[in-house]
Amino acid sequence: MPQRSPLDLPEGDPFGPHNLPYGVFTTPHAPHLRRIGVRYGSHVLDAGAAAAATASPYAELLGAATLNPLMAAGRPAWQAVRAEVLDWLTNPAHRPTIEPLMHPLTTLALHLPIEVADYVDFYASEHHAANVGRMFRPDGDALTPNWKHLPIGYHGRAGTVLVSGTPIVRPQGQHLPPAPDPSAASSSPAHTSSPAPVFGPSLRLDFEAEVAFVVGAPSPLNTPVPLSGFHDHVFGLCLLNDWSARDIQSWEYRPLGPFLGKSFATSLAAWITPLEALAPARTAPPARDVPLLPYLDDSAAEPFGFDLRIEVAVNGHTISRPLFSAMYWTAAQQLAHMTVNGASLRTGDVFASGTVSGPRPTERGCLLELSWGGRDQVRLGDDTRTFLEDGDEVTLTAWAPGPHGARIGLGEVSGHVVPATP
Ligand code: CA
């Protein structure tokens, strides 16, 4: 049987012509030469080589070692490059030039596709925030009084954003010793009554299934970006795993929020899907039940939500299917909020959604919620977990509705836990 060309995709391939996500790869023959690639089916187009071979005006942007120069070029350039890539992959006239520039995905090493500038993490799922509130503040309101008035977030650590596949070393730090009787601790996961902390490997290592938005075009200082500026500044999105050490986090977070319980590692997918590919997935966010200040008010705006169906697997067993469409705060509102005080945007800024949890227990996006603070066992086939053990592998995948019933696949983000450094 003749071998099929990598340019002839099976019907309905989630990485088909409507998707065209960007990444950065090296080949075994040139392990230090990073190149921009476009994923197409189970192959990757060497976009820099294609641009050079076709004398593209974008050869310099596509010949870079990261996506940052392309992202900085702005939306008209993103649209023009995307149209050109689509032409290379689908126009038969280009086939003799393009076919030799397609690499099987499995032969490549994938790298962090962007140079991360700042990293911000939000807290945009009402279901997640309410579940965590019920666990951490059982006697108070599930949501804090500010929650429905502004998208809550914190600044994370850009330097420890890692590409999918990077092993995650179990972090060490201060945490309170576990309560003597685990069942007695269920109503108080923070162990607030314990006297003094101990130092050691985290005993409550968790994942958080999130969606990250990547800033392309920068914005000047003292110039807030309105909701309508979202598409001019945001280049694309991808899956993100915000690894979280719950015991370190619950001891350190008051009063300034997450710090070392989060900053040891954040995994980003190797493929950034352009926003344009997700146009058919745009959807209205949930109804707002509190009037919003004008800079956040999206009641008359275009729909800024995205219908992304996420799946979380631990060691190959699916344990949750979070729905991104249930997120209360949209990325456009997060961008507007992040800049409303005059803070500028830089190319490569990443802002993540916060844990994606839907209304149903099967849609919860982290083990903290799935195990209800360690009270309940989460089934993994014949095995169970409350939090992650050494050797566990967490994989997030997702798809979005595309045109004419097609699916747009998002690049996976995976990582496995290795023991704490002795
Ligand atoms: Ca998070």
Which domains, and CATH codes, for the chain?
22-111 (2.30.30.230), 119-177+193-418 (3.90.850.10)
CA of 291 to the centre of ligand 1 (A): 26
Taking only the tens place, the pLDDT of each residue in 97-138 is 999 999 999 999 999 999 999 999 999 999 999 999 999 889
Report CA(223)–ligand 1 centroid distance (Å): 27
CA of 327 to the centre of ligand 1 (A): 13
Q: In degrees to the nearest 10, what's the CA dihedral of 232, 237, 243, 249?
A: 30
Question: Is the confidence at residue 393, as pLDDT, over 90?
Answer: yes
Asked whether residue 24 carries a pLDDT value surpassing 80, the answer given is yes
Ligand 1 center from residue 323 Cα (angstroms): 16
128 is catalytic: yes
Cα 102 to averaged position of ligand 1 atoms, centre (Å): 36
Structure-token match 């566990």, residue found: 392
Residue 246 CA to ligand 1 centre (angstroms): 11
322 CA to centre of ligand 1 in angstroms: 14
191 pLDDT band, cuts 50/70/90, is very low
Of the chain, the end-to-end C-alpha distance in Å amounts to 54
pLDDT at position 41 over 60? yes
- pLDDT above 50 for 23: yes
Ligand 1 ion: residues within 5 Å (CB) = 121, 208, 242
Tell me the sheet residues that pair with 314: 317, 394
Share of the chain above pLDDT 70, in %: 96
**pLDDT of 180 over the 80 cut:** no
Does 193 score more than 50 pLDDT? yes
Residue 195: pLDDT above 80? no
Q: How confident is the model at residue 422 (pLDDT cuts 50, 70, 90)?
A: confident
Distance in Å, CA 135 to ligand 1 centroid: 16
Torsion of CA 197, 201, 207, 213, to 10 degrees: 90
Distance of CA 406 from the midpoint of ligand 1 (Å)? 30
Per-residue pLDDT at 181: 59
Cα–Cα distance measured from residue 211 to residue 365, given in angstroms and rounded to the nearest whole number: 11
Mean pLDDT of the chain: 95
Predicted confidence at residue 334, as pLDDT, reads: 98
Separation of alpha carbons 283 and 143, rounded Å: 25
3-state secondary structure of 23: strand
- Over residues 224-277, the pLDDT tens digits come to 999 999 999 999 999 999 999 999 999 999 899 999 999 999 999 999 999 999
What percentage of the chain carries pLDDT values higher than 90?
Answer: 92
Choosing from 43, 128, 175, 337, the catalytic residue is 128
